[in-house]
Amino acid sequence: MRVKFIHSLLIKLMTLVLLAPFSCQMYIILSIECPGSAAMPCGNNGVCSDGITGNGTCTCAPGFRGTACEDCKANLYGNKCSNVCSCKNGICDSGVKGTGQCTCLSGYTGIDCDRELPACAALRCGPNSRCIEDMSTGQLLCRCKPGYQGDGTQCTSINPCLRGVCHANAVCAHTGPNQHVCTCTEGYSGDGRVCMPIDPCQTNLGNCTSGSTRCVYDGPGKSHCECLEGFEKFVEGKGCSVKDVCKPDSCHKYATCATVEPGTVDCKCREGYIGNGKICFGNIIQQLQDLNSKPGGEWTGQLSSAITLFNKLMSWPLTSLGPFTVFVPVNKAFKGTSVKTLLANEMRARYLAKLHMVAGEVNSDSLKKGILYYTLTGMAAESMTDGQILVNGESVLELDVEAKNGRLHSLEGILIPPSIEPIIPHRCDIKETNIFKVSRICAIICLDQTPRCCKGFFGPDCSPCPGGFTAPCSSHGTCSEGIDGNGTCQCEPNFKGSRCQYCADSNKYGLFCDKTCGCIHGVCDNRPEASGKCKQGSCKEGYTGEFCEQQTQLCGPNQPCHAHANCVSNKGAFTCVCKPGFQGDGYMCVESDPCALPRRGGCSINAKCIKTGPGKHICQCLSGWREDGDECQAINNCLDPSRGGCHPNATCIYVGPGQSDCACKNGYHGNGRDCEPVNQCVVQKGGCHFLATCRFLNPGGWQCVCEDDYAGDGKICYGTLAQVLYMILGYFSILFC
């Protein structure tokens, strides 16, 4: 009894508290009993579509029909609706409670109404009655037809509606003798004998827009739509709009905020900035200015000197090119020297700025490991770790401040080159003194300086040759050096590569590339400094070892190796070795990350490592670099046929990998991509002597010609001693008159 009581109590509970998982909000949803009753759904003669997702319809068992499976199908009777009526000319007592007894039509008799009565015609029964045989007396008499009631002589139509045959929530209509139609009232559905309340929310969500609204049941056939959590402003037929949850601190100050989902914002950096929207990076100059002006920031007001220096001298590359790594000295590093004083010698100041710039990105991991790298001056710099990170002996205060086109590291001091004089250490200019002799006077005309690069340097900026100026072309080739050189290496017969860093024969190694690799089933490490082993991770499938000489095989049931390990046979003894792409002791193997530090898959420092599968990866050179064997070679736009897009009368200036600038040559002006000739004769007379005439010859060309009776090259003109004295005396007479 206790179990039945609890079951009945649970069945009659009309509300279900549901915790919606997507919003953690409490909803009250009305639960409706299945047709029949909660205790006997579908009269136990069918299966009800119940539960939260059900719609309460009954699927009746064979032989049953009705909303609640409460009736038998036509011509069936019995509590199982399994008996078939046998009446031939009569009406069967069918249905769940029927007995199957036949009521014969006029003129017929018998259990199945299969025998005709000829004498019935004499009785002349009324229109609503018929002749039947009284089973007890055997006499013929008139009896009202089915659907009528009376004594057989007077028969009136039976109205079933008077007996309350329809459901309480239905309307009964008398349609004929003992016939009626039950119609459920508005808000209910069913066959009229059983009417169930309609829940509009069960059909098409009550026409509420999915995703932004929910349907709320208000009673039979009634409901309304409400906005879900995170939505607002309901509009009929359209639903609700996402509630704007953007706040001033939702995104970075250089990002725009948009609410894309309930309670979820999408931050996108503005044009000119990169990042995830929570943090946006501008270019290097913008980042410096932000760090220097951030209220309460660690570097507020401490970077103004460096900003002035870089903005004045390197603004264009630091805002438009990259990537660069910039070591930024704090104000105190200048030790009282004003930037204005430094800028008085622009060449020296520009060199100082370039000493703090590196082409490409040098991150904190590289600095911590201690590396050698080259600044934009071509000079080498070195990092080391001695309790703290030092760059050329100066302490790094903060690491890895990201920018759109590189990264910043703040420095406690200034990177001073080993020798300030000459200002460009890799320039070895030749100075000559020319003396012109004439018949009566000698004049020292000028000091003629011819620009030359030191050995191991090339190009207008005297950049170090590939491999470094101490060992150009890795000492295995000849560098095209000098002012007019392009820095390409002409390798010796046994070598190849942009800096002759590989053996020409892919199966050779050694200082002279004359030793044969011992690599058997892999790819030889064909660098001169290698040891004849295979490149790491290059063994063919089924082989392992430094020389890919050990054969592997799948482990048998007797070897306790891991599923991701092979069994390696070595002189009859088997050892477990993790398969390529996995690491461990062979008894436990986990998937390895080929791009993990410190090797990064053997990729160049100027490439990124991309994992493509278990133990597989590719090295992709960074922008501005091109593949050169296992390394990445900096792209010098100035060496391309297009010369970086510079005008024929412009000089291409190498700025960094894949980056260049253009400057019009002397005698031309413009932006470097378009250069027009300058008429030097209208600019300080072309530099001609005051006793000379400037003659414009052609675009970019002019000539200084001394006046008649005077000698010289036009830059300096001189005559006889008498003419010079006369000219000087004439000058003083004018001056003191």
| Residues 252 and 334 both lie in one domain | no
- Please, which pLDDT band fits residue 131 given cuts at 50, 70 and 90? confident
* Lowest mean per-residue pLDDT among 221-235, 296-310, 627-641: 627-641
The answer to whether residues 407 and 290 belong to one domain is yes
Residues 258 and 316 both lie in one domain: no
Residues 396 and 348 in one domain: yes
Mean pLDDT check: name the lowest of 65-79, 431-445, 609-623.
431-445
Cα separation, 50 vs 702, in Å, equals 101
Q: Tell the residue number behind the tokens 């010609």, with chain if given.
A: 705
Question: Based on the domain organization, do 290 and 344 belong to the same domain?
Answer: yes
Which residues contact residue 439 at a Cβ distance below 8 angstroms, ignoring those fewer than 6 apart? none
Q: Tell me: do 273 and 299 sit in the same domain.
A: no
Domain that residue 252 falls in: 244-281
Q: What is the pLDDT of residues 279-290, one digit of tens each?
A: 888 899 998 999
Q: Where among 392, 411, 430 does a domain terminate? A: 411
**Percentage helix, strand, coil for the chain under 3-state DSSP, each rounded to 5:** 15, 35, 45
pLDDT at residue 258, rounded to an integer = 92
Give 474-500 as a 3 state SS string: HHCEEECCECCCCCCEEECCCEECCCC
Do 259 and 300 sit in the same domain of this protein? no
| Judgement on whether residues 259 and 292 belong to the same structural domain of the protein | no
pLDDT score of 605: 73
**Is the confidence at residue 169, as pLDDT, over 90?**
yes
Q: What is the mean pLDDT of residues 649-671?
A: 84
pLDDT tens digit string along 343-384? 888 877 888 888 888 888 887 777 776 666 667 766 656 665
My answer on whether 111 and 85 are in the same domain is yes
CB neighbours of 581 closer than 8 A, spacing ≥ 6?
591, 592, 594, 613, 614, 615, 616
Q: What percent of the chain has pLDDT over 70?
A: 82
Please report whether residue 432 resides in a domain: no
Q: Single out the residue in 138, 157, 176 at which a domain terminates.
A: 157
Phi, psi of 163 (to 5 degrees): -95, 5
Structural element, H or E, at residue 723 = helix 721-736
Question: What pLDDT, on the 0 to 100 scale, is given for residue 504?
Answer: 93
Average pLDDT over residues 220-230: 91
Judge if 267 and 314 occupy the same domain. Answer: no
Of 472-481, 539-548, 626-635, the one with minimum mean pLDDT is 626-635
Give the separation between CA 322 and CA 325, rounded to whole angstroms: 9
Strand, coil or helix: 278: coil
Look at residue 381 in the predicted model and tell me its pLDDT.
Answer: 62
- The C-alpha atoms of residue 734 and residue 737 are separated, in whole angstroms, by 5
Note the pLDDT of residue 47: 93
Is 710 contained in some domain?
yes
Could you give the CA distance from residue 35 to residue 68 in angstroms, rounded to a whole number?
5
Asked if the structure places residue 136 within a domain, the reply is: yes
Residues 290 and 406 in one domain: yes
Residue scoring higher pLDDT (386 or 168): 168
Backbone angles phi, psi at 200, to 5 degrees: -55, -25
Question: What pLDDT does residue 517 have?
Answer: 93
∠ CA 268-269-274, nearest 5°, is 125
Q: What is the pLDDT of residue 495?
A: 94
- pLDDT at residue 463 in the model: 76
488 occurs within a structural domain: no
CATH code for the domain of 369:
2.30.180.10
722 — pLDDT class (breaks 50, 70, 90): low
Q: 275: domain CATH number?
A: 2.10.25.10
Q: Per residue in 389-435, pLDDT tens?
A: 565 556 677 677 888 888 888 877 777 654 333 333 456 665 444 44
As for how many domains the chain has, the answer is: 4
Q: Which of 2-16, 183-197, 371-385, 624-638 has the lowest mean pLDDT?
A: 2-16
pLDDT given at position 58: 92
SS3 121: helix
Reference 565, options 549, 582, 551, 550; nearest CA is 582
Residue where a domain stops, chosen among 229, 259, 281: 281
pLDDT at 393 (0 to 100): 59
- pLDDT score at 382: 60
Residue 277 lies in a domain: yes
Residues 262 and 359 in one domain: no
The whole-number pLDDT of residue 65 equals 92
Place of tokens 């011992």: 518
Q: How far apart are CA 213 and CA 192, in angstroms?
A: 33
What's the mean per-residue pLDDT of the chain? Answer: 80
Residue 637 has phi, psi (to 5 degrees) of -60, -30
